[in-house]
Chains A and B, each alone.
Chain A
Amino acid sequence: AQTVTQSQPEMSVQEAETVTLSCTYDTSESNYYLFWYKQPPSRQMILVIRQEAYKQQNATENRFSVNFQKAAKSFSLKISDSQLGDTAMYFCAFMKSQGGSEKLVFGKGTKLTVNP
């Protein structure tokens, strides 16, 4: 079974600075998908970024980027120029294959606070 581990329960960062959230996972699959979701106090789980394991290039979405190390099974999220609105729970998640009814496996989350 796949597992996802987020080793940082809480982190904080000053506004405009950069922060990196860690995620490791365990799987025997060779192709899969990795995600970072953000859950602000509104409770909505919002997709931040997605990485396909067969792509070596790290995904980037504006201020959000990942460092995907397939051999190490590591998938960290870097947030540049942190903003107050980035304050939220961040969840790393794994999916075995593409779509259909494939289940999403989550880590326990990292609570990020951006301080003014």
Chain B
Amino acid sequence: ETGVTQTPRHLVMGMTNKKSLKCEQHLGHNAMYWYKQSAKKPLELMFVYNFKEQTENNSVPSRFSPECPNSSHLFLHLHTLQPEDSALYLCASSPKRGQGPGYTFGSGTRLTVV
């Protein structure tokens, strides 16, 4: 366990369902990230939150809706997804500027859209 916990580990959902992915860290980090990992593609940054404020949305479709209620928790709300959204969704956190670079990742949620 690295300090970043993601739940659920696996998720199968229909295209009309609504579900949420959860990420939690207790490392005292201030920035949190959602990445999408698809086969044979580089990890794609989706969203960045810094001190609970969204600082980047990498042209992600609106069927993905992030929420960051505090610096320790990050959610990704999913609705009306498409089969091509099936992927591994990784959450990461990083310390504030000046405390050294580097992310800590969770183990990901394997999402299958049917």
- On A, residues with C-beta under 8 Å from B are 4, 9, 33, 35, 37, 42-47, 50, 91, 95, 97-109
Contacts and interface: CB of A to CB of B under 8 A. Distances in A.
23 contacts: A35-B102, A43-B107, A43-B108, A44-B2, A44-B105, A45-B90, A45-B92, A45-B103, A47-B102, A47-B103, A91-B43, A98-B97, A98-B101, A99-B100, A100-B50, A100-B97, A101-B31, A101-B94, A102-B94, A103-B33, A103-B56, A107-B42, A109-B42
Interface residues of B, number: 32
A104 B97 CA distance: 14
A100 B108 CA distance: 22
Contact of A4 (B42, B55, B96, B103): B42
Interface string B20-45: 00000000001101000000111101
Nearest to A98: B101
Closest 10 CB pairs of A and B: A100-B97, A101-B50, A45-B105, A101-B31, A106-B43, A99-B97, A33-B101, A43-B108, A106-B42, A98-B101
Given A43-B107, A43-B108, A45-B90, A103 B102 contact: no
Q: Among B88, B105, B107, which residue has the most Cβ atoms of chain A within 10 A?
A: B105
B31 A100 contact: yes
A95 B31 CA distance: 14
Interface of B: 2, 30-31, 33, 40-43, 45, 48-50, 55-56, 88, 90, 92, 94-103, 105-108, 110
Contacts of B2: 44, 46
Contacts of B50: 100-101
A99 B43 contact: no
A108 B31 contact: no
